[in-house]
Every structure is written in structure tokens, then in C-alpha cells.
């Protein structure tokens, strides 16, 4: 059996960061007013069929406010919630946070990094919104601050990317992570499990394909149907196409998926949490993410298995 830090059965990103930096890194989300090429017509209009940025936007994230004001309001909120918050990272989360000129990006990121108590940035974007110049900028900033780059992969299957109107193919994701690896950036891939048209076998197969990508960490999300999205309409029109994970099945599936991942890939998250007012399906009840995590850890124990057990190089 592979031994992971803190006696876990998988390679936990939060444990890795705590051991590396000796404290917790807490994210503060901001909305810096970016848009997305999949919405403004550059790539497509309408966006990805599952997308509803409002569902993931804390109330203090308002692009009408300066980044400093959003961070200060976020700090007030997080300091009450987490007594030992450690250091703070500004999380550029909604929309595509590298979708502007390099000069503008530099100004925006530096505005965040100049705020007292902020030690770094997390930049979330699409794989078709990075290039050598932007990666060079992030690499330069990473010499003096923590810099994490998150990119949405969502599926390794072009048929699924097309169906969800993602506006790029899987090859684009691979190339973006390969380019980022040349700059030694810490990268995380975002991935959805349960997309319509993908069988459970195909999803398990994708773990091996994802393991080939030179990314440092992965964030897994079970497919959730969000109110008012194009996917919500499709779900109502074609319910039989959707095989959404119920909680118990997902706990087992997440473990099986993880068994097929390369063992040095850090796991950032195993599941997503759409706020209940926005969530159409699947409804797992009032479970917080830390409870889901504990249940997944228990499943690893019960099955006496671990990340990478079935990984084939
Ligand atoms: S790329 Fe991101 S912001 Fe743009 S439509 Fe898709 S999910 Fe929404």
C-alpha cells in the first residue's frame, strides 16, 4: 500500500499545503469583472450549458467594488468563520480570469497582491485563455508569492465537450497544461463526473487519461444541475440521458476513480457544492463538504484501497 501524508489513503492537497507551508492557505473569492470568450461571442455565445456563475458568488463578490474592498469584506467574514485561517489567497473565481491583455492582468493581480495579509493568488480560467505571455506573468509573480492556476478540463471526451458547448476540445486542455508545466506553475484541473452521454466505464477510463496530463492537482465535481441553465432545460427535456450520481453511489465511484489516478496527483476536492436554492438535482440533503470527505475516507478504509492502486503507467 502507498503511504500518503497524514495517514490518508489519497494524496490530499490540503495536507500537502499544510506540510509545505506549515499553515492553512484560505481562499477569498473576488469578482474582478472578467467575462468569458464562451459568452461574449469570441468562441461562442450562451456559455457552457451547466454554467451559472451566480451560484458560486459570495455576496461580497461584486465587480462594482474594488478588489481591495471585496477582499476586506471577505476577510471580515472568513476571520469570523475560521479562527486559524493562516494566510490568505485572493481567488479569481468567476468567469475566465486570464481573459484580458497581459498589461491589464498584471495590474489586476498586483492590486490583489498589494493588499496586506494577502500572500498569493488563485487564478481560475479556461485552457484556451492562456498563452506564453500570460504564463510568463504568472511565473514572474510566483517568484515572490503563492500562485495557483486552475483550468477547466471538464471531460476528456470531445463528444461531451461539444454537447456542453464548452467551445474547446480536450487537446486544447492538454496543450495548456503542457505549456504551464514549462513555467513550473502549480496547476489544478477541474473535472466533472456524471456528464450525459458518458458511461461509468468511460468515466473510470478518464482517470488514466487525466493522469497523463502534467498537472499538479485535480478538483472533482459530481454533475449538478443548476437552476436556469441550458443544462437544466436539457435535463427536463431528456431526463433519460442523465444518470446523476446519488450520494452513496458517488462515494464509491469517487474511490474507484481515485484508484485509477496516478498517486502523485494531489486531490483538491472530491465533490462540488451548489447552494441549495440553485440546485435542481441530485439532492443529497444537507451535507457539508467536510462530511462528504469523511464518508469518502471511510469508504477507502472499508474497501482497503488507496489512490493509484489500479493506476497503470
Ligand atoms: S468557460 Fe467558465 S465562465 Fe465561461 S461559460 Fe464556461 S463555465 Fe461559464
Nearest CA to ligand 1 atom 5: 47
List the chain domain ranges.
5-302
pLDDT computed for residue 307 by the predictor: 98
Determine the pLDDT at residue 243. 96
For atom 6 of ligand 1, the residue with the nearest CA is 48
Ligand 1 center to 37 CA (angstroms): 8
Instruction: Decide: 48 in ligand 1 pocket, CB within 6 A.
Output: yes
C-alpha 271/C-alpha 262 separation (Å) is 19
What distance in angstroms lies between residue 52's CA and the mean position of ligand 1's atoms? 8
38 CB within 6 A, ligand 1: yes
Could you tell me the pTM of the whole model? Answer: 0.95
Q: Is 51 in the pocket of ligand 1 (CB under 6 A)?
A: yes
Does residue 191 have its Cβ closer than 6 Å to ligand 1?
A: no
Whole-number Å distance, alpha carbon 94 to ligand 1 midpoint, is 8
State the pLDDT at residue 79.
79
Q: What is the 3-state secondary structure (H, E, C) of the chain?
A: CCCCHHHCCCCEHHHHHHHHHCCCEEEEEECCCCCCCCCECCCCECCCCCCCHHHHCCCCCCCCCCHHHHHHHHHHHHHHHCCCCCEEEEEECCCCCCCCCHHHHHHHHHHHHCCCCEEEEEEEECHHHCCHHHHHHHHHHCCCCEEEEEEEEECCCHHHHHHCCCCCCHHHHHHHHHHHHHCCCEEEEEEEECCCCCCHHHHHHHHHHHHCCCCCEEEEEECCEECCCHHHHHHHHCHHHCCCCCHHHHHHHHHHHHHCCCCCCEEEECCCCCCHHHEEECCCCCCCHHHHHHHHHHHHHHCCCCCCCCCCC
Which of 3.20.20.70, 3.40.50.720, 3.30.450.40, 3.40.1360.10 is the CATH number of 5-302? 3.20.20.70
- Which residue, judged by its Cα, is nearest atom 2 of ligand 1? 95
Per-block average pLDDT, block size 10, for the chain (313 residues)? 90 92 86 94 94 74 90 85 79 96 98 93 98 98 97 98 97 98 98 97 98 98 96 96 96 98 97 93 87 95 97 91
Tell me what pLDDT residue 56 has. Answer: 65
Amino acid at each position: 500500500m502507498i503511504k500518503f501524508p497524514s495517514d490518508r489513503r489519497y494524496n490530499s492537497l490540503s495536507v500537502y499545503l499544510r506540510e509545505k507551508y506549515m499553515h492553512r492557505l484560505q481562499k477569498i473569492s473576488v469578482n474582478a469583472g472578467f467575462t468569458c470568450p464562451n459568452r461574449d461571442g469570441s468562441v461562442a455565445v450562451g456559455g457552457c450549458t451547466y454554467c451559472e456563475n451566480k451560484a458560486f458568488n459570495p455576496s461580497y463578490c461584486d465587480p462594482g467594488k474594488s478588489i481591495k474592498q471585496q477582499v476586506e469584506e471577505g476577510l471580515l467574514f472568513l476571520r469570523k468563520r475560521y479562527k486559524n485561517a493562516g494566510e490568505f489567497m485572493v481567488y479569481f473565481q468567476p468567469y475566465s480570469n486570464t481573459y484580458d491583455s497581459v498589461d491589464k492582468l498584471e495590474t489586476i493581480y498586483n492590486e490583489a497582491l498589494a493588499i496586506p495579509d494577502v500572500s498569493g493568488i488563485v487564478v481560475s480560467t479556461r485552457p484556451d485563455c492562456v498563452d506564453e505571455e500570460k504564463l510568463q506573468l504568472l511565473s514572474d509573480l510566483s517568484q515572490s508569492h503563492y500562485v495557483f492556476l486552475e483550468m477547466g478540463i471538464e471531460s476528456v471526451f470531445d463528444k461531451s465537450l461539444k454537447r456542453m458547448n464548452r467551445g474547446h476540445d480536450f487537446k486544447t486542455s492538454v496543450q495548456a497544461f503542457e505549456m504551464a508545466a514549462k513555467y513550473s506553475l502549480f496547476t489544478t484541473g477541474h473535472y466533472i463526473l456524471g456528464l450525459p452521454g458518458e458511461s461509468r466505464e468511460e468515466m473510470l477510463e478518464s482517470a488514466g487519461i487525466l493522469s497523463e496530463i502534467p498537472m499538479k492537482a485535480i478538483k472533482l465535481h459530481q454533475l449538478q444541475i443548476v437552476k436556469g441553465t441550458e443544462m437544466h432545460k436539457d435535463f427536463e427535456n431528456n431526463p433519460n440521458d442523465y444518470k446523476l450520481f446519488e450520494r452513496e453511489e458517488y462515494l464509491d465511484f469517487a474511490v474507484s476513480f481515485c484508484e485509477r489516478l496516478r498517486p502523485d496527483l494531489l486531490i483538491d476536492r472530491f465533490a462540488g457544492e451548489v447552494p441549495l436554492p440553485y440546485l435542481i438535482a441530485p439532492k443529497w440533503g444537507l451535507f457539508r463538504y467536510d462530511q462528504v470527505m469523511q464518508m469518502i475516507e471511510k469508504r477507502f478504509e472499508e474497501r482497503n484501497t488507496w489512490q493509484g492502486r489500479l493506476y497503470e503507467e
